[in-house]
Amino acid sequence: MVATLVTFVAFSAVAPGFLTLGSLASTLVLAAELGIVAMAVTMLMISGEFDLSVGSVLGLSSMLIPYTMVTYGWPAGVAIVFAMGAALLIGLANGLIVTKIGIPSFIVTLGGLLLWRGMSAVISEGQTFSVPYESSALAVFSQRFGEGFSVSAIWFAAVLLLLAFMLGRTMFGNWVFASGGNEPAARNMGVPVDRTRIMLFMCTAGAAALVAVIQVGRFTSVDPQRGANLELEAITAAVVGGTLLTGGYGSVIGTALACLMLGMIRNGLVLAGVADYWYAATIGLLVVGAVVINHYVSRAARAHGSD
Amino acid sequence: MRMSGAGVVAAAIAVLMLAATGCGSEENAGAESSDLEFVAVFHNPPAQPYMAQLRRGIEDAAEKLGVNARVTGPEKFSPAKQADLLTSAIAGKPDGIITSIPDPRPVDGPLRRAIDEGIPVFVLDARDERPLDERIPYYDFVGVSVALEGELGAEALLKEGKPKLAVCPVSEAGNISLEKTCDGFEARMKKEGVPVDTIQISLGQNPSQQAADIRSYLNGHPDADAIFTLGPIDALSVNKVLEEEGLLDRVKHSTVVLDKTIVKPFRDGEIVGVVEPQPYFQGFMSVVGLYLKNRYGFEFAHDVFTDVLVDASDLDRLSKQLDQGIR
């Protein structure tokens, strides 16, 4: 929260135009799309697993919408449901392979990253696909209003409220923390660790598909590289937001604030006339800083607990 | 014997006619041709839309001429990885290498080694832009002149009137060819006294981020009234921002590479000109060039540039080619 406020104040001072409504809308669009995926990834990381395939799942889901509309003449609504269904099946497959066969999620989803990116290229034969007509079904996900604000912000808020409620106020949230905090103890206490994780894998894939629909609705075309590197940005946002890489601790609100901060940095650097290269460098510093702070905070918490 | 660029085209047509009709010495050449093995190594993923057109041209020509052609490239823009792939390809002793040179330094060693070993190297898309005496002595080049590409992009905008401030957004940091395209754009604009900003934007794989970069720049630079984008993905992001901000009338926009996604804004006049490098043609010609070299020992004298500036009046013809998948 403090870091997000400091970023806001700093760019307000040095970046001309940062405080305009248009600029804030830009920041919110960036934060919303990254945030929807990053918050789902945060839940999965809290449960002790990773999903490196979210960017490729976003790419494949994006491609399936115009591809099925153009190739099979499907209505946009059907194409959207199909793309989301495909993403959920991928999430289910990831979850089953990780929990039932016992292969580390890092490996399974790394394979998925390559497989689904490759499938996007196979389906499209490397070409860009566009939705053939304007669709009200797609507009539901990407309509703009006011000074450049997008419905994606409302989806972001809805996902934030839903996940924050699930994590903080439900039995499922307890299972998520228990699965990542101490898995053997959780199993002994009857926590359905496998089922929890499978649902979270489906949640990350579903979130990627939601952002896919938002982007297709706005830009109407998709190329096979869509979504590349999203997985790293999502993990970055989760870590900067305070989620431990080791699992068992984290917050979707922290991740949402981190996404807002990353959006402000992205937007503010452009407005301040700073070269694009500095964005990556700044994010790198933030990640290392966040991990160091998390390390000391968790050590202090352990010391406090043993007193 | 050395040939001019026009000679290459004429020879290519002749070769294709011979191949298609089965005339001349092709009866004997058939078996030999099928043994020919060419390897294409790109600097970008072959699945990227522009590269896919190069690939399609290569594969179609290979099929028509009865030769084998394999296409490969890194998972993302990487001349260094391209150099590794070239090294692997050369180890297989193919009858020809087809490649692009957006940055000559990493590929200099492997390509010179291939040439020393007698493997002809045909360059497409981006050539070694260094002076002739420093340049890799490749067999021939068919592709874009980055400076010309930038100049043509500027010409399209200048036809609409003299801009106050022109912008050239680059989304692939480190791609020297793109930066030089912007240099060509800037040189032409500066002749007319128009200042140019070359800015870095995000990659098109996240179009929202790319659009946000452009939008932030335009908000901070209200004088900017001309944009030259370096590909259809970037063009679509810019077009979307101009549309959302209500700037389509005030900010003129030209771009490079025509694909189906920008046909509508181009037809509607939202994009005033497209510099079309004809990647399918480049890919096709590279195979023809290597075929001629292997079969008949032809030599070429000049680089062949494929950039043409098209306007919306060309769209009917171009749309047919887009539907055929050859543009």
pLDDT at site B4 = 47
Torsions phi, psi for A120 (to 5 deg): -60, -45
CA nearest to B207, candidates B241, B161, B165: B241
pLDDT per residue over A62-76, tens digit each? 999 999 999 999 999
What is the token pair recorded at B295? 């079969």
Q: Judge: B216–A271 Cβ closer than 8 Å, yes or no.
A: yes
Mean pLDDT of chain A: 89
Of A266, A270, A275, the CB nearest to B217: A270
**Mean pLDDT, range A269-275, rounded to an integer:** 76
**A148 interfaces chain B, CB cutoff of 8 Å:** yes
Residue whose pair of structure tokens reads 């043994």 in the numeric block: B35
Q: Judge: B216–A23 Cβ closer than 8 Å, yes or no.
A: yes
Q: Which residue of A has its CA nearest to B218?
A: A271
Give A59: exposed, middle or buried? Use CB within 10 Å, 0-12, 13-18, 19+. buried
Distance of residue A30 Cα from the nearest chain B Cα, in angstroms: 6
A33 contact residues in B (CB cutoff 8 A): 208
B52 contact residues in A (CB cutoff 8 A): 125-127
**A274 interfaces chain B, CB cutoff of 8 Å:** no
A223 contact residues in B (CB cutoff 8 A): 48-49, 204-205, 233
pLDDT at site A17 = 74
pLDDT at site B195 = 97
Torsions phi, psi for B179 (to 5 deg): -65, -35
Torsions phi, psi for B202 (to 5 deg): -70, 160
Segments of chain B with pLDDT less than 70: 1-34, 174
pLDDT per residue over A127-177, tens digit each? 788 898 888 888 888 888 877 788 899 999 999 999 999 999 999 999 999
Instruction: Please report the number of interchain residue pairs, chain A to chain B, with beta-carbon separation below 8 angstroms.
Output: 117
Of B49, B200, B206, the CB nearest to A275: B200
With an 8 Å Cβ cutoff, the interface of chain B facing chain A consists of: 45-49, 51-52, 55, 76, 173, 199-209, 211-213, 215-217, 219-220, 232-233, 236-237, 240, 244-245, 259-261, 325
Q: Which residue of B has its CA nearest to A33?
A: B208
**A128 interfaces chain B, CB cutoff of 8 Å:** yes
**A230 interfaces chain B, CB cutoff of 8 Å:** yes
10 Å Cβ neighbour count for A63?
Answer: 28
**A197 interfaces chain B, CB cutoff of 8 Å:** no
Distance of residue A16 Cα from the nearest chain B Cα, in angstroms: 7
Query: Which of B167, B197, B261 to substitute to test the interface with A, most A CBs within 10 Å?
Result: B261
Q: Judge: B261–A221 Cβ closer than 8 Å, yes or no.
A: yes
Is pLDDT at A235 greater than 60 in this prediction? yes
Q: Judge: B213–A224 Cβ closer than 8 Å, yes or no.
A: no
A266 contact residues in B (CB cutoff 8 A): 202, 209, 212-213
B215 contact residues in A (CB cutoff 8 A): 22, 26, 148
Of A26, A224, A226, the CB nearest to B215: A26
pLDDT band at A81 (very low <50, low <70, confident <90, very high): very high
pLDDT at site B32 = 53
pLDDT at site A142 = 83
Q: Which residue of A has its CA nearest to B204?
A: A226
pLDDT at site B266 = 93
pLDDT band at A307 (very low <50, low <70, confident <90, very high): low
pLDDT at site B61 = 97
Q: Judge: A17–B173 Cβ closer than 8 Å, yes or no.
A: no
Contacts of B76 (CB under 8 A, 6+ apart): A225, A228, B44, B45
**How many whole angstroms separate alpha carbon B83 and alpha carbon B54?**
19
B55 contact residues in A (CB cutoff 8 A): 126
- ipTM tops 0.85: no
CA nearest to A99, candidates A168, A197, A169: A197
Query: Which of A60, A127, A133, A150 to substitute to test the interface with B, most B CBs within 10 Å?
Result: A127
pLDDT at site A107 = 95
Tell if the pTM clears 0.80, that is, is over it.
no
A275 contact residues in B (CB cutoff 8 A): 200
Give A171: exposed, middle or buried? Use CB within 10 Å, 0-12, 13-18, 19+. exposed
Three-class HEC string of chain A: CHHHHHHHHHHHHHCCCCCCHHHHHHHHHHHHHHHHHHHHHHHHHHCCCCCCCHHHHHHHHHHHHHHHHHHCCCCHHHHHHHHHHHHHHHHHHHHHHHHHHCCCHHHHHHHHHHHHHHHHHHHHCCCCEECCCCCHHHHHHHCEECCCEECHHHHHHHHHHHHHHHHHHCHHHHHHHHHHHCHHHHHHCCCCHHHHHHHHHHHHHHHHHHHHHHHHHHHCEECCCCCCCHHHHHHHHHHHCCCCCCCCCCCHHHHHHHHHHHHHHHHHHHHCCCCCHHHHHHHHHHHHHHHHHHHHHHHHHHHHHHC
What is the token pair recorded at B281? 């043609």
CA nearest to B121, candidates B143, B145, B95, B103: B95
Residue whose pair of structure tokens reads 């006294």 in the numeric block: B193
Of A128, A267, A275, the CB nearest to B259: A128
Query: Which of B60, B76, B213 to substitute to test the interface with A, most A CBs within 10 Å?
Result: B213
pLDDT at site B93 = 92
**A226 interfaces chain B, CB cutoff of 8 Å:** yes
